[in-house]
Structure 1
Amino acid sequence: MSTAYEETGRSRQKQRTRAALVAAARQLVAEGGRPPTVAEAAEAAAVSRTTAYRYFPTQHALLVAAHPEIETTSMLPAEVGSDPETRIEAAVRSFMAMVVDTEEQQRTMLRLSLQRDAASRELPLRQGRAIGWFTEALDPLADRLGADGVRRLAVAIRAVCGVEALVWLTDIAGLSREQAVEQMAWSAVALVRRANDQPHAL
């Protein structure tokens, strides 16, 4: 079994170096709106290119590490309660707050995810993390809809929110970001209400 470079030898120093490269990549995306190369991230982090490539041998590996969703485990606030409409609205708003806050990174990852290659299938946008967050929010409906029904509903909600929907609503429909988030939250609640009223339709 191979061991990550940063886990060998002086692990704390290597973790700091890795964190500096990731932070530099995120900052470059936010400033320029395009995917930075490993060399560009190395220069911004004051790390040698040779060292940077030990951590991230490809631009793809760097951008995956720099994506903000990787360590997020839940979109629900504490004590959110058991009402499915309240839970899904809270989850969608939390999700979209993160998307809007990191919009340039999200748009960069979206562009990369549209490429038809094996590497793009490993990107965070292709891994369905939001489906898990929305499934958690919809857990009170599990007895009524069943596991398959809850998943289908979570997929339907993901289809109306996220960076893809944000791009369309702002760039094409002309909504402000605040209006776009309101539209997504409304759509999510409407889908939950419909599913709750007609569970056999799923």
Structure 2
Amino acid sequence: MPMPYETTGRTNQKARTRQALVEAARRLLAEGQTPQVEDAAEASGISRTTAYRYFPNQRELLHAAQPDIAPDTLLGPDAPGTLPERLDAFVEAFCDYNFTWQHQLRAALRVALEPGAARPTLRQGRAVAWVEDALRPLAATHPRVDRHELAVAIRSAIGIESLIWLTDIAGYDRTQATRTVHRTARALLDAATDATGATGATDGAVSGKVHEKAP
């Protein structure tokens, strides 16, 4: 298997060159552009030929320009230990994260929606784990709730995709959009916990699924 270009030879210099391309791409993204490799090369003063050695296509460049933090949680050590306050704190932090990095995330979505695009270059499911962490108190209070399933539902309703719709289509400002996804997350949590009950007993519902035939 061929080794990545930047891992051979003058690795320190190559690391600086790669970072210069990434930072140039991030600046262009912040300006509302969706840069190609040659755009990042021009903005960083690096030749196109050299740039393509690091990033053979736009997709890899945009992937590298994504947020480079990968914490296990977005919640701090002083985060609430009970629900729904813990979920509220997470949604606030997640919205801040998405708005901070919205240019990169918007660009990744645009590329992912192109015909023939491969798997999206977003967080690859990392955000679902963040939601699961926010829902951790359910293990004690509502053990029959499927936390992963609930986390996927909440992530689908509060992520960058929803924020883009709320701001670009509905015309909401950041505060209104954040308030809306807060309410949605709360509603999903309430529906899951109401279905199972506080002790985990169910009325034909397990893990938030009702065992009845669909109408």
State whether TM-score is above 0.5: yes
Aligned-residue identity in percent = 46
| Deviation for aligned residue 1:118 | 4.7
- Partner of 2:155 in structure 1? 158
| Deviation for aligned residue 1:85 | 1.7
Task: Provide the secondary structure at the position in 1 that maps to 2:131.
Answer: helix
Q: Which amino acid aligns with 1:38?
A: V
| Deviation for aligned residue 1:122 | 4.3
Kept in 1: contact 2:111–2:117 (CA 8 A): no
Q: Which amino acid aligns with 1:24?
A: A
Kept in 2: contact 1:37–1:59 (CA 8 A): yes
Give the Cα–Cα distance (whole angstroms) in 2 for the partners of residues 122 and 174 of structure 1.
Answer: 26
Kept in 2: contact 1:28–1:36 (CA 8 A): yes
Structure 1: gaps (5+ residues): none
| Deviation for aligned residue 1:2 | 3.6
TM-score by structure 1 length?
0.88
- Partner of 1:130 in structure 2? 127
Please provide the CA RMSD for this pair. 1.9
- Partner of 2:55 in structure 1? 56
Q: Which amino acid aligns with 1:159?
A: S
Cα deviation code 1:137-180 (max 9, x no counterpart): 1122135345x710111111112212211122122222111110
Q: Which has the larger radius of gyration?
A: 2
Structure 2: gaps (5+ residues): 197-201, 209-215
- Partner of 1:15 in structure 2? 15
- Partner of 1:71 in structure 2? 69
TM-score by structure 2 length?
0.83
Q: How many residues align?
A: 197
From the two aligned structures, give the one with the greater helix fraction.
Answer: 1
More contact order relative to length (CA 8 Å, sep ≥ 6): 1
- 1:189 matched to 2:183? The reply is no
- 1:167 matched to 2:164? The reply is yes
